């Protein structure tokens, strides 16, 4: 059985940084796949002896807030279809944006597990700002720094429990 986790979130929250850090755990295969999945990167991650596929979404979306809701809907829909679990990534340094709200609305509708991950929690001060994300209403909330690696172990523990 192969378990797949997709990382979704608006541009610039740190999805690719997180993806790359996860793959450092192991020499991974990262490939661009053509066709409908052209804008995603695939890798294999492992944690505590458990292996899973990891998808980084939004590779070709420009790093601005200026993307169409239609594009976001498409990205989230494909991710929900492809994955067994979703990491919904947000950015503590930016707070909750309209785009985060829009994505949260879409993700609340899936029955697949969604792990709300507040990234860029690099220090204690950021942790205070980050608590505002509880308002989005997700049960599983993780505070991480993809830059330092802080908090990522707890997220991975929770993810591999599903395998």
Residues that bind ligand GDP (CB under 6 A): 9, 11-17, 63, 119-120, 122, 145-147
CB of 56 to ligand GDP, least distance (A): 7
> Which member of 4, 12, 16, 110 binds Mg ion (CB under 5 A)?
16
Q: Give the tokens for residue 89.
A: 């990534």
Q: Judged by CB under 5 A, which stretch of 12-20, 66-74, 92-100, 105-113 contacts Mg ion?
A: 12-20
Cα 22 from Cα 2, distance rounded (Å)? 17
Question: By C-beta, is 89 or 160 nearer to ligand GDP?
Answer: 89
Three-state DSSP class for 35? helix
CB of 15 to Mg ion, least distance (A): 5
Nearer to ligand GDP (CB atom), residue 138 or residue 143: 143
Distance CA 133, CA 68 (A): 23
How far from 41 is each of 50, 54, 117, 136, 141, CA to CA, in Å?
A: 20, 8, 19, 27, 24
DSSP state of 103: H
Judged by the rule CB under 5 A, the positions of this chain that interact with Mg ion are 15-16
**What residues form the annotated binding site?**
9-16, 56-60, 119-122
């Amino acid at each position: 059985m192969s378990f797949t986790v997709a990382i979704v979130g608006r541009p610039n929250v740190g999805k690719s940084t997180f993806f790359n850090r996860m793959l450092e755990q192991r020499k991974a295969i990262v490939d661009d796949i053509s066709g409908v999945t052209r804008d995603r990167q695939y890798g294999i991650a492992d944690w505590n002896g458990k292996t899973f596929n990891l998808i980084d979404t939004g590779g070709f979306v420009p790093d601005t807030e200026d993307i169409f809701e239609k594009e976001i809907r498409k990205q989230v829909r494909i991710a929900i279809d492809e994955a067994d679990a979703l990491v919904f990534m947000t950015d503590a340094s930016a707070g909750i944006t309209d785009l985060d709200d829009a994505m949260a609305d879409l993700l609340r509708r899936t029955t697949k597990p969604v792990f709300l991950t507040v990234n860029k929690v690099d220090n204690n001060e950021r942790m205070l700002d980050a608590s505002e994300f509880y308002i989005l209403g997700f049960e599983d909330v993780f505070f991480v720094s993809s830059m330092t690696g802080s908090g990522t172990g707890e997220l991975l523990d929770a993810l591999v429990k599903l395998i």
